[in-house]
Chains A and B, each alone.
Chain A
């Protein structure tokens, strides 16, 4: 049962992954990529890593939905349904992809994987939490601050209207002057 599920998900992940590059529609390509990720998440669930598997389902679905919007915007004509192609620079790209895939597979097969020491934990979620909040706490704090700084910086760079545009040069307006009102009126 577990073996059958593993192979179905594994083959499914590769086939949908290849399918991404066969499509002439950005929407289809994006959701095939999502299907590939969901197969990967299924493998994690098979390993008993419930939390990590479900977080991949949650995050990847959100990311692919957002990606669909942007990729349709950048790569297709505005009407969206005109054919397009997913591959550019085809021959070198194929070579790079095949070599990378072969390298990764060789790595998987040639690595002397360690045997399991100790019993499987009752609650893998707790173990992930302890690993993050325990020995890796410093790393997570640094990453957290870096991500927050990146988010703030990118929003500051992207926005064309700051608080001085909204509240006046001396921040004297009590209500913001917005082209599209955003709630506080």
Chain B
């Protein structure tokens, strides 16, 4: 802690996160159109822009007796948590704030998102909103253990919780090569942490939008911005953890970071449109009987390698 963080570095980072969030929304829109069989990619790419304009002029809606303070804290909290999580994501080789506990910081910000989403659901004073809010808590708790172990396995391989050190430790061999299980578990649990795609039940269509069913106008716009930013940051964090950060031939570090982030983002968005939504109660036993033992074994293997290397 205690490093000096430059104003312009933070401003640049926020701009980058914003750009990635817009890219994620456009990618989502294009892939969605393709999955639905609409062959008009350019029009689909501009759909997020149209949706933004529509939400900006839409009338705000407030349910009687709703707790608007908590709802506002929740809506803003998702954007804030995504931005704070981005602080430890390296642009190139080093993050803007290379905290000595960067990996724990990232996980803590993800957990704040559960609280924020529950607050939106609760503050809306609507049945579907509340059910969606409870879903994110169940889902978050269910996936937190495998997620935490996947993060810790990468930190264990580097011998440090500092994200810069994790990147530096992959100069010889990317972690994805010798901890493939941890990478797979990270991607799967990242879907749950960003309540996205197959694990998007907290805001799913079956609840008419779940936790955010009552959000309209600017409130929904802020939520969507935070949601796509969260997805982009979650995808970006896989790169320093498992894909060597900004390492790569010819191109500069930041460009490699961007390309790899877009590749992971593409996989996550693809998963949304090509995989069915999973009911979490059906998946629960598989999570406990398969996922957690698998990631524990992976951590054991990595631990043995680390000790054997000295």
Contact = CB atoms under 8 A, between A and B. Distances in A.
A183 to B, nearest CB: 3
Nearest to B111: A61
Contact of B65 (A57, A81, A180): A81
A182 interface: yes
B52 interface: no
A54 B97 CA distance: 15
A151 interface: no
A27 B67 contact: yes
Given A31-B70, A62-B111, A50 B101 contact: yes
Given A50-B100, A54-B101, A27 B137 contact: no
A28 B134 CA distance: 16
A184 B101 contact: no
A55 to B, nearest CB: 7
B101 A125 contact: yes
Interface string B64-98: 01010110010000000000000000000000000
Interface string B91-121: 0000000011100110110011011001100
Nearest to A35: B73
B134 to A, nearest CB: 7
Contact of A81 (B125, B284, B289): B125
Contact of A68 (B100, B118, B282): B118
B144 A62 contact: yes
Given A65-B137, A81-B125, A183-B283, A28 B104 contact: no
Tell which of A50, A69, A124, A125 has the most Cβ of chain B within 10 Å: A50
B182 interface: no
Interface string A33-46: 01000000000010
B interface, over-half SS:
helix
A31 B115 contact: yes
Contacts, number: 88
A36 to B, nearest CB: 14
Interface string A49-69: 011011101100110111011
Contact of A69 (B70, B112, B119, B137): B137
Nearest to B109: A57
Nearest to B66: A81
A103 interface: no
A53 B161 CA distance: 14
Contacts of A53: 1
A182 B281 contact: yes
Given A65-B114, A68-B118, A80-B122, A184 B285 contact: yes
B286 A66 contact: no
B105 A54 contact: yes
A28 B73 CA distance: 11
Contacts of A68: 118, 122
A16 interface: no
A48 interface: yes
B295 interface: no
Interface size class of A (residues with CB under 8 A): 20 to 34
Nearest to B144: A62
A54 B108 contact: yes
B308 to A, nearest CB: 19
Contact of B115 (A48, A65, A181, A183): A65
B5 to A, nearest CB: 13
A31 B99 CA distance: 26
B156 to A, nearest CB: 12
Interface string B267-310: 00000000000000111111101000000000000000000000
B70 A27 contact: yes
Nearest to A49: B1
25 contacts: A27-B67, A28-B67, A31-B70, A31-B115, A48-B1, A50-B100, A51-B100, A51-B101, A58-B104, A61-B108, A61-B111, A65-B111, A65-B118, A65-B140, A68-B118, A69-B134, A69-B137, A80-B130, A81-B65, A125-B101, A181-B281, A182-B281, A182-B285, A183-B287, A184-B289
Given A34-B115, A50-B1, A183-B285, 14 more contacts: A28-B67, A45-B1, A51-B161, A53-B1, A54-B101, A58-B111, A61-B111, A61-B114, A65-B114, A66-B137, A68-B118, A123-B100, A182-B281, A183-B287
